[in-house]
Amino acid sequence: MIKNSINFGPNHRKLRVGELIKQNLGQIFLRNEAKIPSLKTNLITITEVKMSSDLKSARAYIIPLGGKEIDKTVKTLTEFSYLVRKALSKKLDIKFLPKLHFVGDKSFDYAERIEKLIKKNNNENKKRSN
């Protein structure tokens, strides 16, 4: 039987490893184990980690407390990702330690914008019915 090399959607292994990395990154940031200069890692939330199909790279979605300075935080984490990987290697016992890519999570901004639009629409509908 020939397997198709294209992988559509997440499989259980990718989800398990992604969740394991998410939990450990959260602990590393909370305890400031990565020792990243000029960044308070205990104010960073890891919202999601998506793994590549070969499990050799991970995309970590982050948001700093209050959603302020996302781009600056992502840039700093990317610059010092080797320190984060070093701290992560001490916590994980997996065959390959994935390369980390940090991405700012804009989903909360998007959800807030949609919520405002819904409230605005509801207020307009109430004014029309009166």
Q: What is the pLDDT of residue 10?
A: 65
Residue 87 has pLDDT above 50, yes or no: yes
Residues 6-29 have a mean pLDDT of 84
Q: Which residue has the tokens 């109430």?
A: 126
Residues 6-20 have a mean pLDDT of 79
Ordered by where they begin, the domains of the chain are 12-105 (3.30.300.20)
Q: 4 or 108: whose pLDDT is higher?
A: 108
Interatomic CA distance for residues 31 and 19, integer angstroms: 18
Q: What is the pLDDT of residue 99?
A: 94
| DSSP H helical ranges for the chain | 12-30, 70-79, 81-91, 107-129
Amino acid at 38: S
The pLDDT mean for the chain works out to 85
Q: What is the pLDDT of residue 8?
A: 46
| pTM recorded for the entire structure | 0.75
Q: What is the pLDDT of residue 1?
A: 45
Residue 89 has pLDDT above 80, yes or no: yes
